[in-house]
A and B are shown apart, each in its own frame.
Chain A
């Protein structure tokens, strides 16, 4: 498959994990609206904790890319996307009475943020992109799959609409194009992508079966 863009290769190689996420009881619960609201609240808090680390990882990638201002500028646009995503969480926090300031991250959230930040502090920018892409592409995929059904009465409609929106798809595509530009298919890059996808799956599992 020579000539295939890297993001296509990595997505294909990890597609089974992505489909495992789609079939996960947590995600199915979002899709059919039957997810326990308390579980959702805890998930939102954990996800907000995660997004702060995700934001930092973009910032640290930006530090590496400062010699190429055009790349830095695009990373800056992606950072704005995270801030917008956090607004969704703040909205939930307000309407569902979630305290986002005193989140006790569960093990899966810690493992994921430790991995992201370790990568962001120590790896080349291409590998950082590989560690970050699964989150964006997976959520766009989940959002679009869940939006395909009738969700007009779904209590998690706003979540589904956010991640199935054109704006979110554009962010995921932008990150994938940075990945294609900045990374090569090395052992480190392919490991980072796979490990992040595995962290996504673990994150959903931990959100159902809370384990500190």
Chain B
């Protein structure tokens, strides 16, 4: 994880990096104390988020030149698998995926889609990397144990980290002065997203 925590964008974001990648919510998953219904509420919002994120990733694919585009297309396909997994899990547990957006989730998705249409591809690469790295680092701080072991393993998988490492490389290969500000915005939204479930 060192390559992520010591990357240019993480260091540049200062305290926002820690705020976006540590959360009481995650601690409660790590020690197994989070009630299942709270976890499910978060999961439904995470599904709504991933749907919006897939739309954002598509906009990024559309704007990014080759050869960097290949990696993004592969990432989009992985997001599709992720959505399938959410839908199967929700059906097995009778979760309502048609639930309303929580305001924190709504703000995050609005941010992604508005940026997807209006920002240059280099900035979109930094946002895409920010979303994925926050996820992998935050979950990566947990041991795969307890009632949520299955989920922790799923989101700390080595293949996922390899993908995030490749995203970092292409974001670094396409520098742009607007990258840091938008990466910082991602960390703010990550912080709010983790807090969303914890506070309700």
Contacts and interface: CB of A to CB of B under 8 A. Distances in A.
A114 B89 CA distance: 31
5 contacts: A107-B188, A114-B115, A115-B114, A121-B113, A121-B114
A111 interface: yes
Interface in B102-122: 106-107, 109-111, 113-115, 117-118
A147 to B, nearest CB: 33
Interface string B152-164: 0000000000000
Q: Which of B106, B110, B115 has the most CB of A within 10 A?
A: B110
Contacts of A110: 111, 185
A117 interface: yes
Interface string A73-113: 00000000000000000000000000000000001001101
Contacts of A111: 107, 110
Contacts of B185: 110
Central interface residue in B107, B114, B117, B188, by most chain A CB within 10 Å = B114
Nearest to A117: B114
Contacts of A121: 113-114, 117-118
A122 B111 contact: no
Range for the number of chain B residues in contact with chain A: 10 to 19
B90 to A, nearest CB: 21
Contacts of B114: 113-115, 117-118, 121
A53 B188 CA distance: 21
Interface of A: 107, 110-111, 113-115, 117-118, 121-122, 195
A113 B117 CA distance: 13
B166 to A, nearest CB: 28
A117 B109 contact: no
A114 B117 contact: no
Contact of B113 (A107, A113, A122): A122
Contacts of A115: 106-107, 110, 114
B25 to A, nearest CB: 20
B107 A117 contact: no
A114 B107 contact: yes
A36 B132 CA distance: 42
Interface string B77-113: 0000000000000000000000000000011011101
B2 to A, nearest CB: 29
A195 B100 CA distance: 12
B116 to A, nearest CB: 8
Instruction: Name the residue in A107, A118, A121 with the highest tally of chain B Cβ atoms < 10 Å from its Cβ.
Output: A118
A94 to B, nearest CB: 27
Q: Max chain B CB contacts within 10 Å: which of A107, A114, A117, A122?
A: A114
Contacts of A122: 113
Nearest to B116: A121
Nearest to B100: A191
Q: Which A-B residue pairs are the 10 nearest by beta carbons?
A: A117-B114, A114-B110, A118-B113, A121-B117, A118-B110, A114-B114, A114-B111, A115-B110, A118-B114, A111-B107
Contacts of A113: 114
Contacts of A107: 188
A121 B118 CA distance: 9
Contacts of B117: 117, 121
B194 to A, nearest CB: 16
A35 to B, nearest CB: 27
Contacts of B110: 111, 114-115, 117-118
